[in-house]
Structure 1
Amino acid sequence: MGQRRPDAGPDVECDAGGLLLSPLSARAQDKAPAAPAEVRQLWPTPHLQGQARLRFIGLHIYDIRLWLQEPLRGGAWAQQPLALEIAYARNLDGLKIAERSLTEMQRGGPIDEATSARWLAEMKRLFPNVKGGDRITGVFQPGQAAAFLHNGRPLGEVRDARFAQAFSASGWLRTAPSPRCASNCWVRHEQPQCGRAERRPPNR
């Protein structure tokens, strides 16, 4: 994302195209929906580690939620299985979803041109067009693969450990209390932990 909106608070970042991603308030987190069925099949009581909302010139585009088996305490986030749920608020083209996903992955660090092209081709192959109310969930196993589901139905997987790590890192970046903090923590392979002290945990 990059540029900071002049009137934005410390937990909001946007890019020149008008896209704005901000963590949801504590009140919104308290009202967060239950984990989708595909996540509950992985872990009976998944933990909502973080969530955020993407807007474009004020329009709600999607909510993104990061699910773990249990709360993560410590810095070994890159070794943790996770599920990244994106709940769409409006219709979007699958090719555009793939392109935006690659952009988010590139925020975590440089990706060479050949690898970017290969990953983009994989995501274009997998990601469908979505309607408002649809969701795409990515399930990531460290050092193995990333599997994707559309409304709970399998789409396929990318068996590339580096891809899985980069996509899961984009989840941490997009759902951390402070995007700038998350970016710094990604470089150190640590769990993003900074943000407003008064924010309550998503799950009680």
Structure 2
Amino acid sequence: MSRILILLASLAVFAAHGVVPNVVNNSVPNAAQVGQAKFTYYFWDVYTATLYAPDATWPAKRFALKLDYLRDFKGKKIAERSIKEMKSQGLDDGNKIQQWSAAMQRIFPDIEEGEHLIGVVDEDGVTRFYQDGQELGAVEDPDFATWFFNIWLGPETSEPELREKLLNGANE
């Protein structure tokens, strides 16, 4: 009987945290889900974001953020919105804005509902983007990793409730 209870408890934990994508497992040691949140704009569900870090511990030097899209988007629009969010948090370096915008427009594909993108930050602050296990491209500037992921994870995010759910109390 106790084995069945342990099995059921394990399945409940597994279901609650889901499967860690292979790209994340291969890039983040001991990757586990820190938190998850759905982003809704007015009454439209846009995506579900999931944050992974070693042993589900935040803050982390290496981590991954997965966005499961619930609507179709053009890659160019994702890049434009990312720059807008970074600017709203104080990014004002024109050279970086131009470089990062060009990189994201080159990297981000058009997305259809049900598809996902994963951004992974390595120990050197290099950000690599993946779709369906395939690397789309990388931005090697550690400043990019900070500004880009602060869209969701930084204290100046435009979506503090989403941040709170992603960090799951880990940054308090």
What is the TM-score of this pair, normalised by structure 1? 0.64
* Aligned match for 1:126, one of 107, 111, 114: 107
CA distance in 2: counterparts of 1:54 and 1:84, whole angstroms:
13
User: Which residue matches 1:156?
Assistant: 137
What is the CA-CA distance between 1:132 and the residue it aligns to? Answer: 1.0
Query: What amino acid maps onto 2:55 in structure 1?
Result: E
User: Which residue matches 2:8?
Assistant: none
In structure 1, runs of 5+ residues without a counterpart are 1-29, 184-190, 194-204
1:166-185 Cα distance to aligned partner (Å, 9 max, x none): 223233149x9x817x69xx
Higher mean C-alpha displacement, 141-150 vs 89-98? 141-150
Cα contact 2:28–2:64 (8 A) shared by 1: no
Query: What amino acid maps onto 2:146 in structure 1?
Result: Q
Identity %: 28
Higher helix share: 2
Q: Alignment length, in residue pairs?
A: 151
User: Which residue matches 1:113?
Assistant: 94
1:88-103 matches, cutoff 5 A: 88-103=69-84
Higher mean C-alpha displacement, 40-49 vs 120-129? 40-49
* Aligned match for 1:65, one of 45, 50, 66: 50
CA distance in 2: counterparts of 1:118 and 1:44, whole angstroms:
30
* Aligned match for 1:36, one of 17, 21, 25: 21
In structure 2, runs of 5+ residues without a counterpart are 1-14, 165-169
User: Which residue matches 1:201?
Assistant: none
Q: How large is the RMSD of aligned CA atoms in angstroms?
A: 2.8
CA distance in 1: counterparts of 2:65 and 2:111, whole angstroms:
16
The 3-state SS of whatever aligns with 1:48 is strand
Higher mean C-alpha displacement, 163-172 vs 114-123? 163-172
CA distance in 1: counterparts of 2:124 and 2:92, whole angstroms:
17
Change (3 A) 1:87 1:119: same
CA distance in 1: counterparts of 2:55 and 2:73, whole angstroms:
32
Find out whether 1:80 has 2:65 as its counterpart. no
User: Which residue matches 2:171?
Assistant: 192
The 3-state SS of whatever aligns with 2:50 is strand
User: Which residue matches 1:167?
Assistant: 148
1:127-142 matches, cutoff 5 A: 127-142=108-123
CA distance in 2: counterparts of 1:151 and 1:82, whole angstroms:
18
What is the TM-score of this pair, normalised by structure 2? 0.74
CA distance in 2: counterparts of 1:104 and 1:33, whole angstroms:
29
Q: Select the structure of larger CA radius of gyration.
A: 2
Query: What amino acid maps onto 1:146 in structure 2?
Result: T
Change (3 A) 1:111 1:67: farther
Cα contact 2:27–2:120 (8 A) shared by 1: no
What is the CA-CA distance between 1:43 and the residue it aligns to? Answer: 4.3
Query: What amino acid maps onto 2:149 in structure 1?
Result: S
